[in-house]
Amino acid sequence: MKPIHVLPLGGADPDLAEALAGPLRRTFRTDVAVREFSINPEQFLDDGRGQYNSTGLLLHLKDAYPPLKSGPGVCTLALVPFDLFIPVLTYVFGEAEVGGNVAVVSYHRLAPQRYGLPPDDALLRDRVTKEVIHEIGHMFSLIHCSELACVMHSSSYVEDIDMKEQSLCRICVSELSHRA
């Protein structure tokens, strides 16, 4: 398995990024490092939508983050606090290059406060962990899974995320072992 680099970008909470390392090591059985890197997110801001272009960010990282520039040896996951979109969708929780080396997850829409509920750090961490495992699963060539509780099940709303577990189902674990 390729090692995983987690990059908290655009003012993302480094503690939230650090909390991912354990679950990612357990799930993907590979080295996980939280690395410092900085970008100017404003270049991805769509003024009309007030959101940031997810695909633009991925393309930029491939070009700008040295371990990605120098070859396909590292899976890189950017964690961002700002809202992401791709043109055909209102918003996305994240995006990944399937079978590639770069992915991004936003926690903008994962915080309970966004839905008028009190802050809940444990719930936020749980949702972020699931979405990050999901996008990294895509980097390791996993596709969407029909199993509702599997972390590779597609989520459009936070309620969908809350129905999933942090883990891959048995079929996805088996797929992962074949594709790695």
Q: Which amino acid, one-letter code, is at 171? A: I
| Cβ count near 172 (within 10 Å) | 21
User: Which ranges constitute the DSSP H helices of 70-163?
Assistant: 121-139, 158-163
User: Shortest distance, CB of residue 119 to Zn ion, whole angstroms?
Assistant: 27
Q: How far apart are CA 52 and CA 74, in angstroms?
A: 24
User: Shortest distance, CB of residue 69 to Zn ion, whole angstroms?
Assistant: 25
User: Which C-beta is closer to Zn ion: that of 7 or that of 145?
Assistant: 145
Tell how strand 4-8 and strand 32-34 pair up: parallel
User: Which C-beta is closer to Zn ion: that of 67 or that of 96?
Assistant: 96
Catalytic choice (95, 131, 135, 175): 135
User: Shortest distance, CB of residue 26 to Zn ion, whole angstroms?
Assistant: 16
User: Which C-beta is closer to Zn ion: that of 147 or that of 160?
Assistant: 147
Q: Residues in the site for Zn ion, rule: CB under 5 A?
A: 145, 147, 150, 152, 169, 172
User: Which C-beta is closer to Zn ion: that of 74 or that of 133?
Assistant: 133
| Cβ count near 122 (within 10 Å) | 7
135 is catalytic: yes
Residues 57, 73, 69, 26: is their CA dihedral positive or negative?
A: positive
User: Shortest distance, CB of residue 140 to Zn ion, whole angstroms?
Assistant: 12
| Cβ count near 98 (within 10 Å) | 13
Residues contacting residue 177 through CB under 8 Å, at least 6 positions apart: none
Residues with a catalytic annotation lie at: 135
